[in-house]
Amino acid sequence: MGSMINAKCKCGYVKENMCLGGGMMNFTTECSFPYYCEDCNSLVEVNVYDANKKCPECNSNNLISYDDRKICKPKGREVFSWNVSDEIGKELTLSEGDYLCPDCGKFNLRFEHYGCWD
């Protein structure tokens, strides 16, 4: 069962209704997670299982996962977690910490959990 996540920044940027992780029918082939595209400065959802990850906005492969320490300052409680250690060698997590906002470029973006999906 995946998680429904919103991302909000103090600057007013909002990305709502992100369905992260995978569902009961596709969790072995689909695992959505937020990435930052360095080419078009967008927060996008990408399947972590894709060998050739591409930005759905500009088709670039210049992506950084939002659990990368370059664009996150994790702190507080966990908002999302998905164990893909066998598939990609790590557990994906998002916390209440501060993340790089794709709009203002400051570390004021926050993720919040608001539900689950199948």
The identity of residue 82, as a single letter, is W
Classify 87 as helix, strand or coil. Answer: helix
pTM for this model (two decimals): 0.90
pLDDT in tens, 70-104: 999 878 888 888 777 677 767 888 998 899 999 99
Residues paired with 86 in a beta bridge: none
What distance in Å separates the CA atoms of residue 80 and residue 20, rounded to the nearest whole number? Answer: 8
Segment 8-15 shows an average pLDDT of 97
What distance in Å separates the CA atoms of residue 8 and residue 43, rounded to the nearest whole number? Answer: 11
Domain residue spans of the chain:
2-115
Chain centre to alpha carbon of residue 83: 14
Indicate the length of the chain as a whole number: 118
pLDDT at 66 over 80: yes
Instruction: Output phi, psi for 86, to 5 deg.
Output: -70, -35
- Residue pair 8/102 in contact by the 8 Å Cβ criterion: no
What distance in Å separates the CA atoms of residue 79 and residue 101, rounded to the nearest whole number? Answer: 17
